[in-house]
Amino acid sequence: MSPDRSTVEQQQGTSDGELRQSAGENGASGPSTLSVTDNRTGKSYELPIEDGTLRATDLRQIKVDPDEFGLMSYDPAYMNTASCRSAITYIDGDAGILQHRGYPIEQLCEHSSYLEVAYLLINGKLPTQAELTDWVDEITIHTFVHENVKDFMQGFRYDANPMGMLVASVGALSTFYPDANKIKEERVRAIQIIRLLAKMPTLAAFAFRHNMGQPYVYPDNDLEYAGNFLGMMYKMTELKYRPDPRLARALDVLFILHADHEQNASTSAVRSVGSTQVDPYSAVAAGVAALYGPLHGGANEQALRMLKRIETVENIPAFLEGVKAGNERLMGFGHRVYKNYDPRARIIRKYLDDVFEVRGKSPLLDVATELEKRALDDEYFTSRKLYPNVDFYSGLIYEALGLPVAMFPVMFAIGRTSGWIAQWKELVEDPEQKIARPRQIYTGDRDLDYVPIEQRG
């Protein structure tokens, strides 16, 4: 954005408070402005529009009294506020399009690996073979965690929620790497990025083994990223864990599918905390905490519970009637952004067959398939543009992999780590970003006199 945007022309306007968008010198595709008339004063303002967006601070010049703060915008839940410029992920929710650095998610899932996608998200381009080899090697040799992390993990209760353990242990990594707070130094940033990608699966697997009451399994650096994770989860007495390639590939694709989704709640948390210039472990811990919430990382668990409750295909019509009557929601359907089939759901569906081939088919697959078909044939769902989202089928895969539901958001967190880091790096390198500090509309009392406790009724 040009620095002179704040020099906005003021003019006398009409008194009807009109909002009018005018094309700029270059016509409809050139620069454009919005004319606003403040009916309180009769003054008009011409506000620049760039990329279909007004700059909120341009509103500040609109005021009745020169001493007042100026106009603000009120936007709880950031329903219509862009908080950054980002070149990482593009979503067209109406068309069901998801692209990372311009590459469609379908192509990345077909041809790429999770670590290559992580490189793409973080570095902005696909790596050459040499770059990819170095990147994977670097991540592979950083998968171990300090032995004290194990002791720290041991301190949790046997039934501690693995997401709670992950929030704490990722945050704790900052204490092992005190240099990590030198976030202005590119070299320091680079090594933390490698460590975060490398150690996240190790922490997640330790949390799982802790819940199972089983000894923690060290990483096996002969294995690829997803296969190593499966080994740390499931290795027992065998000398060498050999992951089934179909399971490892399905898991790798799940990590790709969860890698980034632009400014969702957890990514916004990472950016907001990262804007304080804290180290990236603390910022990512904030992302994991946001993902812990059932509205974000927990919907796939709800979808699986729903399928279990429906139990058989025969029960679907009655269930859908209940949904249409407003008794409950069809979990794994609908999305704030996608008003079309979530492209991630379509891809997951393909990998279900591979996983079931190894693990045996879940009887819930028939229920899910039929439920999807009936819902997509039903005017209630089509008129509201409710389609399956990523969570409709992912729970079935996780269950087939032998994971308890408490681990579902942990799997999401492993994949999303690459996106969180990419967004954190973009934030740190963006000269326009400052500490995130929203405004408020104060609605409470003012100027009260303190009342001694004995005089309070």
**422: Cβ contacts below 8 Å, ≥ 6 apart:** 88, 118, 121, 122, 260
Minimum CB distance to ligand CMC, residue 91 (Å): 10
Asked if 335 is an active-site residue, the reply is yes
Minimum CB distance to ligand CMC, residue 94 (Å): 13
β-pair type (27-38, 89-92): unpaired
Of 142, 210, 258, 335, the active-site residue reads: 335
Whether 129 and 195 have beta carbons less than 8 Å apart is answered as no
Listed ranges 50-58, 108-116, 357-365, 384-392: which one lies at the site for ligand CMC (CB under 6 A): 384-392
* DSSP symbol at 339: S
Using CB under 6 A, pick the residue from 333, 351, 393, 408 that binds ligand CMC: 333
Minimum CB distance to ligand CMC, residue 87 (Å): 21
Of 296, 366, 378, 430, the active-site residue reads: 296
Residue 119 gets the label, from left (phi > 0), alpha (psi -120 to 50) or beta, of alpha
Of 391, 430, 447, 449, the active-site residue reads: 391
Name the amino acid, one letter, at 364: L
Calpha distance 368→283 (Å, rounded): 36
- Shorter beta-carbon distance to ligand CMC: residue 47 or 421: 421
Minimum CB distance to ligand CMC, residue 258 (Å): 8
Calpha distance 316→233 (Å, rounded): 35
Judged by CB under 6 A, does residue 305 bind ligand CMC? no
Calpha distance 262→193 (Å, rounded): 18
Judged by CB under 6 A, does residue 162 bind ligand CMC? no
Judged by CB under 6 A, does residue 257 bind ligand CMC? no
Rg (CA), the chain: 25
Calpha distance 302→332 (Å, rounded): 8
Closest chain position to ligand CMC (CB): 334
Asked if 296 is an active-site residue, the reply is yes
* DSSP symbol at 221: T
Calpha distance 27→218 (Å, rounded): 62
Judged by CB under 6 A, does residue 163 bind ligand CMC? no
Q: Give the contact letters, 261-280, x = binds to ligand CMC (CB under 6 A), - = no.
A: x--x----------------
Judged by CB under 6 A, does residue 417 bind ligand CMC? no
Calpha distance 387→384 (Å, rounded): 9
- Shorter beta-carbon distance to ligand CMC: residue 71 or 337: 337
Minimum CB distance to ligand CMC, residue 349 (Å): 15
Listed ranges 112-120, 246-254, 329-337, 403-411: which one lies at the site for ligand CMC (CB under 6 A): 329-337
- Which run of H or E residues covers position 422? helix 408-429
Q: Is the dihedral of CA 333, 320, 355, 164 positive or negative?
A: positive
- Shorter beta-carbon distance to ligand CMC: residue 235 or 335: 335
Listed ranges 23-31, 187-195, 212-220, 388-396: which one lies at the site for ligand CMC (CB under 6 A): 388-396
Calpha distance 439→74 (Å, rounded): 9
Q: Rounded to whole angstroms, what are the CA distances from 82 to 1, 284, 295? A: 14, 21, 21
Q: Give the contact letters, 216-255, x = binds to ligand CMC (CB under 6 A), - = no.
A: ----------------------------------------
So which residues are the catalytic ones? 296, 335, 391
**Residues contributing to the site for ligand CMC (CB under 6 A):** 261, 264, 299, 323, 329-336, 384, 386, 389-391
